[in-house]
Homo-oligomer: A and B are copies of this chain.
Amino acid sequence: VSLVLNYDSGISISEATRQRVLEAARELDYRPNAAGRSLRRQRTGLAGLMLRRTPRQENANAFLSPVMDGITSVLGPAGFQLLVEAVDETRPDAYVNLLRGARVDGIIFSRATPDDEPLIRLDADHHAVVLWGQLAGSNLPFVDVDNARGARSAVEHLVSLGHKRIACITNGPIRYVGSESDDRLRGYREALVGHHIPVDNDLIRFGDFDERSGYEATRSLLAEPDTPTAVFVASDEVALGALEAARTADVRVPDQLAVVGFDDLPSSRLISPSLTTVRVPARDLGAAAARMLLERIELGTRPSSIFLDTELIVRESSGRELLTR
């Protein structure tokens, strides 16, 4: 029975019994039992997606839908299903049980922190782990966008429009070197340096992941003696605050202040002025992570990490060329 149901060809079963088995299976509406199969095969056909729930951005996750779509689009055809689990402070090592208890064959871990010992150990023990987002100081396989390069493309866009006084608002405090926030800030600096524009630290503000911080940072930038003509904001959410600040200060966007964001949230296309931004290919990242995970599970090899390209999406908020003064 097992041979008939699990192999399409290359098995030595007479056609007669083959049909007999298939007929019986149909009649009984037979479906193989997942637990029995997992136990015997020593494989679950399940992959885990670990989502870090920070109290701050608790329900923000706009990327979740496309990411999961990308993951399942790869896992599904390979015969894998997806188990999603939130990793929070109450049970910080839940994912350890997932792998060590063989509930899943591998996990995709989003936004790992640099000091996650149990995670490092899982990797060392040849468990299939793949990271969503680069982890500085570890050699765990990851997928990520090149944040510095994406930031450079945004700032170079502003430079090409004629801007020289370009401010930067990060999407959050710089927690450690090599973090997303750090890389985007670095890209901003590199772009300026590359075009021989001096980096003015008075034009750099540190956001706090939310719209409000973007609002306040922009207010304070507009109060600078030598007002910037453009601002690169390292996330769309924070950039929305920048647009709001410009609006309330009667500063026209993009004429008086050009704004470029990062992420390309669904709403960024819809607001007015629509937001020029750096698109993060969430679905592709999900698919890439899933492919890497499959490689690790099925081949047992250690996949090499992947950087995907961002894409600059030019919209109204940076729109026109700067009038020469």
Where the two chains meet, the residues of A that have a C-beta atom closer than 8 Å to any C-beta of B are 29, 31-36, 38-39, 44, 46, 53, 58-62, 64-66, 68-69, 72, 76, 81-86, 96-97, 100-103, 211, 237, 240, 243-244, 247, 265-267, 270-272, 283
Contact = CB atoms under 8 A, between A and B. Distances in A.
A34 B82 contact: no
Contacts of A97: 31
Contacts of A211: 270
Nearest to A103: B34
A59 B66 contact: yes
Nearest to A247: B272
Given A31-B101, A60-B266, 7 more contacts: A34-B38, A34-B101, A35-B102, A62-B266, A81-B85, A84-B84, A267-B270
Number of copies of this chain that the complex holds: 2
A66 B271 CA distance: 22
Given A59-B69, A270-B211, A31 B86 contact: no
A315 to B, nearest CB: 13
A69 B86 contact: yes
Given A31-B101, A81-B103, A267-B271, A61 B65 contact: yes
A36 B85 CA distance: 21
Contacts of A244: 270, 272
B29 A34 contact: no
A102 B33 contact: yes
Contact of A59 (B31, B46, B72, B283): B283
